[in-house]
Amino acid sequence: MLIKETKRSYNGVVVPDDELTPFERNKLISEGKPVDRIQCCLDTGETMAPLIGCGIDEYYHSSDKMLELEEYLYDNFHADGAGLSTTLRGMAEAMGSEIRYYDNNIAQLKTPALTLKNIENARRVDIEHDGRLPIILDGLKKVKSKLGDKVPVSGTVTGPFTVAAMVLGTEWLLMGMLKCPDKIKDLLEVIVENNNKYIDRLIDLEVGIGFADPVSSTSLISAAQYGEFSFPYFKKNVDHIKSKGRGCGLHICGTSRGLWEYIKESGVGLFGLDNVESIEEAKEVLGPVMAIQGNVPPVDVMKLGTPEEVLESGRICIEQGRDTRCGFVLTSGCQMPIGTPEANMHALVDAARIYGR
């Protein structure tokens, strides 16, 4: 059964049609059976709001616009997933941080909720009322209702350490790790509790769960600091998910190689690599215990490259990752920026159709 007709070609190479639905593909992969192609997901979110003529500020505050964008992405690209994120500042806003919104840029931290002097005042959130969390959950409910029979739907949670950076400010978090480590750990415990409340709602909605945790990158902290201040609290969220009989994935922006031994022990089922890291190395270290996802450069290739360059970068990623023991998913190394051409987004999924068979 043909799922769609692409009717696209690259230098005379016609893109093959999908033969399986994402659910059929998932099922066969889980059973270790042959499929029509490898999986491919688009790392999108608020940066793609302009595709539906929507300002980014409006998108952040409208569950209907969140649904509209996910429908647009599914209808036009037919990648293997849909979903919504709390975004990096969503949980921090619910905890009292003031966020600055823009029509043509992603949101930024304006005023942190806490200082090192009042960490004990960290807010335990009301998931149903605080910040934008109710809007995002309503959006997920709508996406699940509209697309849940066509494609797997997931919700992304921000890792505790990154939430702490958005509650205190990154510089003050790093300073607090040195000056008052016990206070930072107390804050992280509250964040774990808040994340688990949100995770419970995702489980109720029967959507998949992933984590984004960019501040945990070794571009910012050492592996030893990760082991003391990030990993134990992230693992508490993962353990909570596993206690409910569910699994999850993780993406860390920037460098992460020094953290992979921790990540192997975290219990996640998938790890998303930034394009600065090696798929081949991750395949050897992480591949025996989890799937690998990555890692076409989001700026140099996805935004600034040509469709042919996207196709070639995708081919290289597939060649390096396709024999990963626990599976490989093609995507960009991080969220695609505002202004990424639609032709390049088509080319990324087409790379899986052409080279991932």
Phi–psi pair at 264, nearest 5 degrees = -60, -30
| Residue-level pLDDT at 7 | 78
Question: Where does the pLDDT of residue 147 fall: very low under 50, low under 70, confident under 90, or very high at 90 and above?
Answer: very high
Residue 245: pLDDT over 50: yes
Q: How many CA atoms lie within 13 A of 150 on its CB side?
A: 17
Rg (CA), the chain: 20
Q: From the centroid of its chain, how far is CA 86?
A: 10
Residue 4: pLDDT over 90: no
| Residue-level pLDDT at 2 | 43
323 to each of 100, 207, 307, how far by Cα in Å?
44, 27, 25
Question: Where does the pLDDT of residue 177 fall: very low under 50, low under 70, confident under 90, or very high at 90 and above?
Answer: very high
- Pairwise CA distance, residues 103 & 55, whole Å: 5
pLDDT, mean of residues 317-342? 97
In the chain the domains, ranked by start, together with CATH numbers, are: 34-76+271-357 (3.20.20.210), 81-268 (3.20.20.210)
Write the pLDDT tens digit of every residue in 98-140: 999 999 999 999 999 999 999 999 999 999 999 999 999 999 9
Residue 286: pLDDT over 70: yes
Q: By C-alpha distance, which of 16, 11, 3, 6 is closest to 355?
A: 16
Which of 6-15, 136-145, 211-220, 267-276 shows the lowest mean pLDDT across its residues? 6-15
Identify whether 295 is preceded by a cis peptide bond (ω within 30 of 0): yes
Write the pLDDT tens digit of every residue in 24-67: 998 998 898 999 999 999 999 999 999 999 999 999 999 999 99
- Pairwise CA distance, residues 72 & 328, whole Å: 25
pTM: 0.96
pLDDT, mean of residues 56-83? 97
57 Rama sector, left if φ>0, alpha if ψ -120 to 50, beta otherwise:
alpha
Q: What percent of the chain has pLDDT over 70?
A: 98
Residue 1: pLDDT over 70: no
Helix (H, G, I), strand (E, B) or coil at 300: helix
Q: Which residues make Cβ contacts (< 8 Å) with residue 42, sequence separation at least 6? A: 73, 77, 79, 81, 331, 332, 336, 345, 348, 349
Helix (H, G, I), strand (E, B) or coil at 334: coil
pLDDT, mean of residues 152-181? 98
Question: Where does the pLDDT of residue 257 fall: very low under 50, low under 70, confident under 90, or very high at 90 and above?
Answer: very high
Write the pLDDT tens digit of every residue in 181-192: 999 999 999 999
Q: Which residues make Cβ contacts (< 8 Å) with residue 45, sequence separation at least 6? A: 84, 85, 87, 335
Average model confidence (pLDDT) across the chain: 96
- Pairwise CA distance, residues 191 & 160, whole Å: 6
| Residue-level pLDDT at 125 | 98
